């Protein structure tokens, strides 16, 4: 396993080199990020046409309405596609190797880019059921990630 200390010693990495990028919430996405802090997956839903946008936008991408509400998602998804990252990643992500980047189809319709955690990447199969988990990436920053569903 590669550690931050190893990267600092071998490559001269600084703390800045090892800092992962964090989300920068906008006014229209702030409720999503506030929800993740409470371990809730919130989705922006258009009041005019019912379309669910993820990531959240300033307006509905289906009808351009600015009228929306936030609903709590079920936390269930299906694995659409994935890649197992083994090497060739920025220094900040090396201690996480191997890690899985995935496209997941939420039960409510939208497709989300995230990570699959909690299992052997060799056991992943497109079409498998997933459930959301939440991971604190930094103080006050919580990311939704996915794990294989129980059963």
Give me the domains of the chain, ranges plus CATH numbers. 25-72 (no CATH), 74-151 (2.40.50.840)
**Pair 78, 105: CB distance under 8 Å:** yes
CA dihedral 141, 100, 132, 69 (to 10 degrees): 60
Q: 46: which 2 tokens?
A: 């258009």
* Residue pLDDT, tens place only, 90-106: 999 999 999 999 999 99
**Pair 142, 36: CB distance under 8 Å:** yes
pLDDT of residue 124: 97
* Residue pLDDT, tens place only, 104-140: 999 999 999 999 999 899 999 999 999 999 999 999 9
- Give the pLDDT band of residue 151 (cuts 50, 70, 90): confident
pLDDT of residue 119: 87
At 92 the three-state DSSP class reads helix
Mean pLDDT score of the chain: 95
Tell me the backbone φ, ψ of residue 32, rounded to 5 degrees: -60, -50
**Pair 91, 97: CB distance under 8 Å:** no
């Amino acid at each position: 396993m590669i550690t931050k200390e190893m990267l600092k010693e071998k490559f001269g990495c600084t703390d800045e080199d090892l800092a992962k990028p964090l989300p920068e919430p906008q006014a229209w996405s702030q409720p999503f990020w506030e929800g993740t802090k409470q371990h809730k997956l919130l989705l922006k839903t258009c009041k005019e046409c019912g379309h669910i946008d993820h990531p959240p936008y300033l307006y509905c991408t289906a009808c351009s309405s600015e009228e929306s509400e936030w609903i709590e998602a079920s936390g269930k998804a299906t694995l659409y596609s994935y890649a197992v990252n083994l090497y060739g990643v920025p220094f900040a992500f090396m201690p996480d190797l191997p890690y899985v980047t995935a496209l997941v189809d939420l039960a409510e319709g939208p497709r989300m880019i995230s990570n699959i955690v909690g299992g052997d990447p060799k056991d992943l199969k497109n079409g498998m059921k997933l459930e959301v988990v939440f991971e604190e990436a930094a103080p006050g920053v919580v990311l939704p990630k996915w794990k294989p569903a129980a059963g």
